[in-house]
Amino acid sequence: MMPAVAGCPTRYVRAVEELLLTWFAEHGRDLPWRKTRDPYAILVSEVMSQQTQLERVVPRWQRWLERWPTIEALAAAPAADVIREWQGLGYNRRALALHCAAQQVAAAGWPDDLTELPGVGRYTADAVACFAFGRPVLPLDVNVTRVSERTGHAFSPAAAQALMDLGKAVCLARIPRCDACPLAAACPSRGSRFEPLRRQGPFEGSFRQRRAAALREVVAGSQPEDAEAVASLVRDGLVQTDGEVVSLPH
């Protein structure tokens, strides 16, 4: 049962969630991984979506699942192929973590505590648990947290995807579109404006860009000259060296 907000009857809280779900039925995003309960496919979508725009993720997720349709297939793939396939999604360590997680699941099955998998934090674990395994847990990403805090309502796991979409399209970080929000009438934050959150530094000219450029050279069969970037990639297991030759891991 969904917990009631202090001072509010449970049926009132349910009515708020029903308004949200009605809005979601009409305005929710049509994302392909929302049409499956396969924990592997959902894990891939969650890992790819970390710090990458969904418009870029959708075709890459589809291509990934075509190449490695099961977690066992990914587990058996060479790490070098995984890194190559990941190019363009950024934060390449995610690819290796996903590969290691696949190998762990292929060998021992899905753990009860999904945070035991490499690269899987609390949110990703809860998202897979909710969307794939149907566990009664609400995944708290920035959008879910924002809507929950601003409205003061305790939503159930059934509203997770609706909260994500509302936070993405309507309950925006700085200037929410309260006039388009189905929850505005009951929202204590209606009409408020918010300070911008601290943004990550620009990619252009950053060390992250240098690392990405060095890795692209290795993927293309060239030898990068940026020794500092190569050393960082070696530490993360994304490349290996044999003397002066830099290559992808086997």
In-domain check, residue 198: no
Domain span at residue 159 reads 10-30+137-186
Last residue of a domain, one of 104, 131, 158: 131
Q: Are residues 109 and 79 in the same domain?
A: yes
**Per-residue tokens: 59:** 């075709």
Place of tokens 């990403």: 141
Q: Are residues 19 and 45 in the same domain?
A: no
Per-residue pLDDT 10s for the chain (250 aa) are 334 444 454 555 678 999 999 999 999 999 999 999 999 999 999 999 998 899 999 999 999 999 999 999 999 999 999 999 999 998 899 999 999 999 999 999 999 999 999 999 999 999 999 999 999 999 999 999 999 999 999 999 999 999 999 999 999 999 999 999 999 998 999 988 887 666 666 767 788 788 888 888 888 888 888 888 888 888 888 888 888 888 888 8
User: What pTM value is reported for the model?
Assistant: 0.86
Query: Which residue in the list 46, 85, 204, 244 is annotated as catalytic?
Result: 46
Tell me the Cα Rg of the chain.
21
Task: Report how many domains make up the chain.
Answer: 3
- Residue 170 burial by Cβ neighbours in a 10 Å radius (0-12, 13-18, 19+): buried
* Long-range contacts of the stretch 159-162 (C-beta < 8 A, 24+): 159/17, 159/20, 159/21, 159/24, 160/127, 160/130, 160/131, 161/24, 161/28, 161/34, 161/131, 162/20, 162/21, 162/23, 162/24, 162/28
Return the amino acid letter for 155: F
In-domain check, residue 195: no
User: What three-state secondary structure class fits 246?
Assistant: strand
User: What three-state secondary structure class fits 240?
Assistant: strand
46 in catalytic set: yes
CATH number (domain holding residue 112): 1.10.340.30
